[in-house]
Amino acid sequence: MNSSLPNDDKDKAPQPTNGAPSQPQTAPPPNVSSSDSSSSDSSKGQPNPYVVGAPPQQHVPPAWSTGLFECFDDIPTLLITAFAPCVTFGQVAEMVDRGQNSCGVYAMLHAGILYFTGCGCLLSAYYRIKMSHLYRLPDDPLINILVHLLCEPCALCQEYRELQARGFNMQLGVGWRNQSPGIQQSGGVMVPPKVQGGMNR
């Protein structure tokens, strides 16, 4: 007699003893390992260090080359502006208007408005706004008007120094016609300073 069970009985899986239904065992999907999934999950939140992009463009806000209260850096101009603001205004206006009129005409216009109305600062504030648009300086009209209303000598000295920094020869009597041809063509646009100590070929 053979004590071996038939083939059908051998193929049957053993039944659980506690009566709970058996769960089918599922194999992991092919070509996917636990190490690969963990590394992909960890790399999702981190930027790729090998991707090199263009550097962000830094916007440089417009600014005057000197401060409003740096008047004592140029004592002669400060003294002229304190006692005769129309002279400094005439020099500034002549350069801003590209020599349409002479310094004397602008100075007499400012002095006349100042003498008859006491509001010469409004004319100089207008030219400060015009200069701000021309050279892309801080161009808030209200701020520019308030600066001339509250401290016109400081504002005129700042505008004078700004034109000097842009290459104009601001000595009294020079005027627009005696400026260098380069300044007349460029309008006094400031050239960025050269960095010293760089790499030279």
In the chain, how many domains are there? 1
pLDDT at residue 4 tops 80: no
More confident site: 124 or 37: 124
pLDDT digits (tens, 9 = 90+) for 7-45: 555 455 555 555 555 555 555 555 544 444 444 555 555
Six token digits for residue 190? 């400031």
Compute the CA torsion angle 55, 61, 65, 71 (nearest 10 deg).
Answer: -140
Residue 37 maps to a domain: no
pLDDT at 56: 58
Nearest one of 197, 189, 198 to 65, comparing CA atoms: 189
pLDDT at 32: 46
* Contact between residue 64 and residue 158 where contact means Cβ atoms under 8 Å apart: yes
Q: Is the pLDDT of residue 60 over 70?
A: no
Alpha carbon distance 107, 117 (integer Å):
15
Give just the sign of the alpha carbon dihedral 112, 117, 118, 122.
Answer: negative
Q: Is the pLDDT reported for residue 138 higher than 80?
A: yes
Tell me, yes or no, whether 49 lies in a domain: no
With a cut of 50, say whether residue 127 has pLDDT above it: yes
Confidence of residue 104 (pLDDT cuts 50, 70, 90): very high
94 domain-assigned: yes
On average, the pLDDT of the chain sits at 78
Query: How far, in Å, CA of 160 to CA of 131, rounded?
Result: 11
Q: Is 2 a domain residue?
A: no
| 26 lies in some domain | no
H helices of the chain, in order, are 7-11, 34-44, 75-83, 85-96, 103-116, 120-135, 141-165, 181-186
Closest CA relative to residue 134, chosen from 171, 188, 178: 188
- pLDDT number for residue 7: 52
Residue pointed to by tokens 């020099």: 91
Neighbouring C-beta atoms of residue 173, cutoff 10 Å = 7
* CA-based radius of gyration for the chain: 40
Share of the chain above pLDDT 90, in %: 50
pLDDT given at position 83: 94
- The mean pLDDT value for 90-107 works out to 95
Domain region containing 159: 71-175
Q: Residue 49's pLDDT band (boundaries 50, 70, 90)?
A: low
| Cβ(66)–Cβ(162) below 8 Å | yes
Q: Has residue 145 got a pLDDT over 60?
A: yes
User: Hey, what are 174's tokens?
Assistant: 């020079």
Taking residues 108-117, what's their average pLDDT?
95
Burial (CB < 10 A; 0-12, 13-18, 19+), residue 52, is exposed
Q: Rounded mean pLDDT of 125-151?
A: 92
Letter for the amino acid at 104?
G
Has residue 186 been placed in a domain?
Answer: no
Structural domain contains residue 34: no
Instruction: Report residue 185's pLDDT band, with 50, 70 and 90 as the boundaries.
Output: confident
